[in-house]
């Protein structure tokens, strides 16, 4: 299967269950693996026959700008939007992580959700 990977997208956004998280914000990272039929792009060498990385980045940025309580909800929204914009996407894998999530009495590098939709 063919796919396009975009790794290490970094955003500052306002997501979380706690009100403080939605006020102060945090750093989030996004990795995507977009499974698609890329045979047309292979033959034509034309951007309109594939997935435009810049447009993908802008869609992710747009979705991360809308506050959510749950990473699961946010990840689902990102993939839904990408599939609507790029019908060539057959399925998508997303890894969405919140860096240094607030944990009472503890320290954690990140909390992440990984989904294949």
Architecture of the domain defined by 3-116: 2-Layer Sandwich (3.30)
Domains of the chain by residue range: 3-116
Which is it for strands 3-13 and 110-116: parallel, antiparallel or unpaired? unpaired
Question: Quick check: is 98 catalytic?
Answer: yes
3-state SS record for the chain: CCEEEEEEEEEEECCCCCHHHHHHCEEEEEEEEEEECCHHHHHHCCHHHCCCHHHHHHHHHHHHCCCCCCHHHHHHHHHHHHHHHCCCEEEEEEEEEEECCCCCCCCCCEEEEEEEC
Global pTM reads 0.93
Residue of 80, 98, 109, 116 marked catalytic: 98
Q: 39-49: per-residue pLDDT in tens?
A: 999 999 999 99
Q: 34-87: per-residue pLDDT in tens?
A: 999 999 999 999 999 999 999 999 999 999 999 999 999 999 999 999 999 999
Specify the higher pLDDT residue, 74 or 107.
Answer: 74
């Amino acid at each position: 299967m063919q796919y396009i990977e975009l790794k290490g997208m970094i955003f500052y956004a306002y997501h979380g269950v706690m009100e403080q998280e939605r006020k102060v914000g945090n750093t989030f990272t996004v990795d995507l693996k977009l499974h698609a039929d890329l045979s047309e792009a292979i033959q034509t060498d034309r951007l309109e026959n594939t997935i435009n990385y810049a447009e993908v980045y802008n869609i992710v940025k747009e979705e991360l700008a809308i506050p959510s309580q749950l990473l699961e909800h946010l990840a689902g929204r990102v993939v839904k939007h990408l599939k609507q914009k790029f019908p060539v996407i057959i399925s998508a894998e997303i890894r969405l992580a919140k860096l240094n999530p607030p944990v009472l009495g503890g320290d954690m590098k990140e909390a992440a959700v990984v989904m294949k939709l």
